[in-house]
Amino acid sequence: MTSSPPLSPKLFARDLAAYSDAELNRYLEESGRVVEVEDPENLPEDFIQRLRDRAHLPTDKEAPPQEEPYPEGLFATDSSPSTLPPTPDEERYRKDLQGQTEAYYTLVNNGGQPSHPLSLLEDIAKDLGEYCEILSFWQDRDKPEDWKVFMRQLSRWEDFRRLQKFARGQIIVLGQYKTWESFVGRQQHTTGEQGRFPIYVRAVKDRLKKHGFTRTFQLDEDPARQDKLTTWIEYLGYEYWWYDQYALSKR
């Protein structure tokens, strides 16, 4: 059974960064591969790289994800002297479009699925139309006309990816551990089980079943081998966890 991360005393970044490779390996093994320091913002880049080197990396046989190209000149402006400078509202709108477009491509290239095609972005910005109900999931409650949802979708997807990696034994800096404890709830190891993954699989399946999802699926301990549909089902379990957290907060 994987050990829980040490509760006290916490180390400082400079202390952990000074560990030899053998000391670092022992620390990660004893902490369940959770890095907990008083000042994580001070972890030096070379130490973070040492952590990355110890995390699971794709093998040479695994093809890198095919990235969707970012369109060139999408937000180019007319530099003609006769062109009037944009108003503050026009400039804000242009920056919002650019930010949402960048978030869209980052989300897609990281395996996520946006709520609507990028080609509809400007139309939806003018009128949510048939996407009104879909986008409401990502909007603040007091902003029913907000069309800027790709950044929120990207943030949620990245949080899911961190939990997905942590469940499979990869290294994270403390912060995700509280999410982990809440996500798996009271799940415990059964005889012969080791690591976090078996507990995580049961937690995902139990939560989906609770919400009426009955399709059979099998999570892969190596997410690089897992097909897109199964990953999306796994993500659905994560979103249902968020839904349950929200429902509890309203009681």
Closest CA to 114 of 123, 101, 125: 101
**Position 64, amino acid:** P
Instruction: Specify the amino acid at residue 52.
Output: R
Asked if pLDDT for residue 126 goes beyond 80, the answer is yes
- Summarised one tens digit per residue, pLDDT across range 93-116 is 889 999 999 999 999 999 999 998
Contact 119, 83 (CB under 8 A): no
Look at residues 156, 142, 67 and name the one whose alpha carbon lies nearest to residue 114.
156
Per-residue confidence band for 175, with pLDDT thresholds at 50, 70 and 90: low
Residue-averaged pLDDT of the chain: 78
How do residues 209-230 score in pLDDT, each as one tens digit?
Answer: 999 998 999 999 998 899 999 9
Q: Look at 216 and 6; give whichever has higher pLDDT.
A: 216
- What are the residue boundaries of the structural domains of the chain, listed by start? 1-54, 88-155
Q: How confident is the model at residue 174 (pLDDT cuts 50, 70, 90)?
A: low
- Mean pLDDT check: name the lowest of 38-47, 49-58, 153-162, 232-241: 49-58
Amino acid identity, residue 193? E
Higher-scoring residue by pLDDT: 118, 2: 118
Please give the pLDDT value at position 25: 77
Geometric angle at alpha carbon 247, from 245 and 249, rounded to 5°: 70
Instruction: Using the predicted structure, report yes or no on whether residue 68 has a pLDDT greater than 90.
Output: no
What is the Cα–Cα distance from 221 to 75, expressed in whole angstroms?
Answer: 41
pLDDT digits (tens, 9 = 90+) for 47-62: 777 776 665 444 344 4
DSSP H helices, the chain, are: 13-17, 21-30, 45-54, 88-109, 121-126, 132-136, 150-167, 176-184, 197-210, 228-249
pTM of the model: 0.64
pLDDT of amino acid 136: 85
Share of the chain above pLDDT 90, in %: 28
* pLDDT value at 179 more than 80: no
**Within 10 A of 55 (CB to CB), how many other CB atoms are there?**
13
Rounded to whole angstroms, how far apart are CA atoms 72 and 138? 28
Q: Which residue has the higher pLDDT, 35 or 200?
A: 200
Q: Residue 208, CB half-sphere, CA atoms under 13 Å: how many?
A: 20
Q: 99: alpha, beta or left, given left = phi > 0 and alpha = psi -120 to 50?
A: alpha
Q: Kindly state the DSSP code that residue 121 receives in the 8-state scheme.
A: H
Cβ atoms < 10 Å from Cβ of 199 = 22
C-alpha–C-alpha distance, residues 146 and 70, integer Å: 24
Q: Examine residue 64 and say whether the peptide bond preceding it is cis (omega within 30 degrees of 0).
A: no
